[in-house]
A and B are shown apart, each in its own frame.
Chain A
Amino acid sequence: MTSFIIIFFCLSPLGLKSQEVSFPKHSIILDAGGIGGYGSLNYERTFFSKNDFFISYKAGFSFYRLKDFEREINPDLLFPLSLQYHRKFKSHQAVLGVGQTISSIVKASADFASKVRRSRLSLSGIIGYRYQKDNRPFSIQISYTPIFERYKTFQHWGEISFGYSFFKKNKP
C-alpha cells in the first residue's frame, strides 16, 4: 500500500503538458461521511499550486442534532479541518491529506449525574480520488478517511464528496 502511494504521487510527471493548467481556487464541497462524521458542508481553498499539483485547505461544519437528550436546544457540533495535496492527471486527481476534527458533543457526565459538553480533537487521514474536468466547476471525490478518535481509537471510515469550484488560471 505504501509503495503504491509513493509511486502514485512521486513518479509521475505523466500528466504534465506545456498547456495551460487550471486549478480550482475556491470550492464548496458537500461531504457524505468523511472527517465531519456523517456529513458536512465545507469550504476549500487552494493556497499553493505548481505544475501539476496543488495544495488546499478545507474547513467545514456539521452537526448531529439541534436538541440534546433533555430536549433543550443545545446542538452537537463538528468542525472538520484538513490539509490536502492534489496531484492532477488531466481530469483525475489523486488526493492525500491529513485532518483534524473538532467535536463538541453534549452527553451525560461520566457518572450520569449531569449533562456536559465535551470538546475533543480527533486525527484523520485522507487518501482519495477526485474527478473534475479541466475548467469545469463540478467535482466528485471518493476517499478513505480513517479516523483516530481522540487520538485513541482507530475507526475505518470513508466519504463521497460533491464539489462546486471557482477557478483561477495558472501557467506551468
Chain B
Amino acid sequence: MKPLLSIILIILFSFSCGKNDLDLSQVRNLNGDKISPFGHAGMGISSQYPFNSFESISNALNIGAEGVEIDIQMTKDSVLVLFHDRTLQEQTDLEGLIYDQNWDDLKEATYKNPLFAEYKIVSLDQLFEHLKKVKDYQFFLDFKLYQPDNSDSYASTYINAVIKTIEKHQLENNVLLSFFQQKYLEKLKLVRPNYKLVINNSFENGILLADDLNAYGIILNNDNVTKSQIEQAHEEGIRVYLFGAYSKNDNLDAIEKHPDFILTDKVNHLVKVLK
C-alpha cells in the first residue's frame, strides 16, 4: 500500500511542478500591466472548428478570450467575409477565389471539416449582428488582400466596406485593423483617424510605420521578437500583439516577453494561465 501511495504522491508532485510558476505581477506593458488572451482565427488552426467560423469564434470568446483575431476578405459585391485561404477548395466544397464570388454564392459554401458538421462561411456583418455580448470583446481584423486589383478605387471601395460594417454595429472601439499594405492603412487613417491601426511588418519597419501613422500597435511573430524589443516598443507608446503561439510552450514563452496581447491557438491554456 505504501509504495502505491508514494507513486501517487510523486505523480501529483510532478504535475504540480509542471504547472508554470509565472509571476504575472511582474508584467509591465501598455495594457494596464496585464496580457490579454486572443483566439487565433477563433480557436486556432488545430481546433475541430474551422478557423474563422462563427462557431470557432464564439467558442473562443465563451472560454474567456478577451478578443479574437479574424481573417477578412472582400467578395466581388463588396461584402466582407471571414476566410483565411486564397482559394476556397482547400477548406470548403466550393472552388475559386473570394474576390471572384458574390456573397449569395459564397454563403452556400460548407466547410469540409470536421466531417458531417456543415459549418458555413460567415460575413463580418453577420458576426457582429449575432455574436452575443459583441461589445464586450475586441476584434483584431486581419485583412487579406489577394485580389490583383491594386487601384485606388478598389482600395476606397474596400475601406468604405470596412467603415460601413464597423459603424453599422457601433464597434469603432472594439476593432483593431491590420493591413499589410501601407496604402490601405494610410487611406483609413485619413478618413478615420480615431480607428485603432495595428502594423503588420518586421519589428524595425513596424516601429517606424507605427510612429508615422500614430498606430495603436504592431503585430509580431513570437519566434522573431525579443523581450527587449517589446520593451522598446512600449517605450515608444506602441502596443505589441504577438502571434505564433501554437502550443502551450509557445504561450508560456510569449507571456515571458510581456506583450500586451497574445494571439494563440491554445485558447483554453492561455486563458487559464493568465487568470
A: which residues have CB within 8 A of B?
Answer: 37-38, 64-65, 69-71, 76, 78, 101, 103, 105, 107-108, 110-113, 118, 120, 122, 147, 149-150, 153, 155, 157
Contacts and interface: CB of A to CB of B under 8 A. Distances in A.
A159 to B, nearest CB: 12
Nearest to B53: A108
Contact of B115 (A70, A107, A112, A155): A155
B118 interface: yes
A64 B47 CA distance: 11
Contacts of B54: 69, 108, 112
Interface residues of B, number: 25
24 contacts: A37-B115, A37-B116, A38-B115, A64-B48, A70-B58, A71-B59, A78-B116, A103-B116, A105-B116, A105-B117, A107-B117, A108-B58, A108-B120, A108-B122, A110-B120, A111-B130, A112-B54, A112-B122, A112-B130, A113-B129, A120-B116, A147-B115, A153-B112, A155-B115
Nearest to B64: A71
Contacts of A71: 59, 62-63
A149 B132 CA distance: 31
Closest 5 CB pairs of A and B: A103-B116, A69-B59, A69-B55, A112-B130, A71-B62
Contacts of B48: 64-65
B127 interface: yes
Contact of A112 (B59, B93, B117, B127): B127
A153 B62 contact: no
Contact of A70 (B49, B62, B93): B62
A38 B46 CA distance: 14
A168 B120 CA distance: 49
B114 interface: yes
A153 B93 contact: yes
Contacts of B49: 69
A107 B56 CA distance: 10
A70 B117 CA distance: 16
B149 to A, nearest CB: 29
A118 B55 CA distance: 14
Contacts of A120: 116, 118
A150 B58 CA distance: 25
Contacts of B103: none
Nearest to B119: A107
Given A108-B54, A112-B127, A112-B130, A149 B115 contact: yes
Contacts of A157: 115
Contacts of A112: 54, 122, 126-127, 129-130
Nearest to A65: B48
A147 B114 CA distance: 13
A156 B59 CA distance: 28
Nearest to A104: B116
B226 interface: no
Nearest to B115: A37
B126 to A, nearest CB: 5
A103 B117 CA distance: 8
